[in-house]
Every structure is written in structure tokens, then in C-alpha cells.
Structure 1
């Protein structure tokens, strides 16, 4: 039986999270989402230490958020300097007006009560 990897948001997870908020012109949001999906599949997911990525598109068409989990900052930061990363990072950079990348640690999580659907 194979186990499908999933994003786990937990204070117990020994991970760092890269959250990058991209600002785009509304006409470029879908293009950026497609580029992030493609580059994650063909490059980022192959890098040692990569755990998961999730791409969120704002309903107003002006933001895209990339939420990616890595084993450690020691895995994430060297990836940014890899020659193989340059064309992927350049493609993404050419599509955005602004980006705000940061590394985070999960400090707390909260959940609503589980109820049966009506």
C-alpha cells in the first residue's frame, strides 16, 4: 500500500514553511498559477528536502500565495542558489508585480467542531 503525501499543518511537524505572496495584474493570475504548478512538478518537487506545495489564487485576481513545506531552512535556502532553479525563478519573477517571500514555523493551529453535513 502506498501512502499519498499530504500537507500537514501541525506544531509537531519538523518543517519550515515558505509562504510567498505574489501580486499580479488580474490578467496574469492564471498564468502565474500554471507556472507555479509546472515548476513545482518539474523542479521543486525533485529537490531534496521538498515536502509539499499549495497554490492559492485570490478571488479578486490580484494575488497568488504559494505555501510550500521544506524539511528545513538548510534545504530551502541552498535550493535558491542552485543553477537549475534560476530559469524557474526567472519565469515566476517575470509574471509578478511584487513578491513577499518569508520562512515560517507553525506556532498554533485551530479547528472548528466537526458536524455532519445537512
Structure 2
């Protein structure tokens, strides 16, 4: 069994997920990704209740999605009230055109059947 921290995607996980879709000018996308990576390592990952973060960059250069897991909505809200969070949030804010952060609960997961003979597409 691996002891390496990882993102848990399970309906049984007792987590809340922040999905933040950032709109960015294509020439700022790489800078935003770098800032999210750096601020997550330097600050967010040290905050009580933080569990994981994943940063996705759209292929057209106009969006960056931050998929971050927290122990609870209360932990996430407490982080937002921390004075130490302000410089990191401000830096990210200077790089974007718009953001749409929302907290989510995972309700379902779907995967293809590992046995193609059971799918009925033979």
C-alpha cells in the first residue's frame, strides 16, 4: 500500500472539493499555472484541512482549473480568513480575467467495464 499522498476521488471520502475555473488570457496561462503551483506548495498545502490540489490547463490557453480537496467547507472558509492567505490570493487575482470558485460534494463516479465482453458492444 502506498503512503504517498494523493487525490482521493471516492464518494465515500469525507471531503469537500473546491473547483475553481479561472479565465485567463492565453499569454498568462503558464504564469497562472506556475503561481498556483508555487502558492499551493508554499502556503495552501500547509493549512490545516488541506488534502490535495490539481491544476489543469486548457489546451486553448484560456482556462485554468484548480481542483482542490479540503477536509471540510469550514476548513476552506477558515483558510480564506487567514491573513497569510491574502498575498497568495491577491497574486492569483492579478493574473486572471475571471474566476468561478465553488465547493462541491462528489456524488458519482463512472468507469468503463474492464471486461469488454460484458459491455454488449461486441
- TM over 0.5, shorter chain: yes
- The within-5 A match list for 1:23-102 is 23-102=23-102
Answer with 65-74 or 106-115: which moved more. Answer: 106-115
Q: TM-score, normalised on structure 1? A: 0.94
- CA displacement, residues 47-66 of structure 1 (integer Å, 9 cap, x when unaligned): 00000000000000000000
Task: State the secondary structure of the residue aligned to 2:53.
Answer: strand
> Residue 15 of structure 2 corresponds to which residue in structure 1?
15
- CA displacement, residues 24-78 of structure 1 (integer Å, 9 cap, x when unaligned): 0000000000000000000000000000000000000000000000000010001
In 1, distance between residues paired with 2:18 and 2:59? 22
Q: Work out which of the two has the higher radius of gyration on C-alpha atoms and give 1 or 2.
A: 2
Task: State the secondary structure of the residue aligned to 2:108.
Answer: coil
Cα distance, 1:113 vs structure 2: 3.0
In 1, distance between residues paired with 2:52 and 2:97? 25
Task: State the secondary structure of the residue aligned to 1:106.
Answer: coil
> Residue 113 of structure 1 corresponds to which residue in structure 2?
113
Cα distance, 1:81 vs structure 2: 1.1
In 1, distance between residues paired with 2:114 and 2:63? 30
In 1, distance between residues paired with 2:25 and 2:34? 15
Structure 2 unpaired stretches of 5+: 116-122
- The aligned length equals 115
Task: State the secondary structure of the residue aligned to 2:40.
Answer: helix
Q: TM-score, normalised on structure 2? A: 0.91
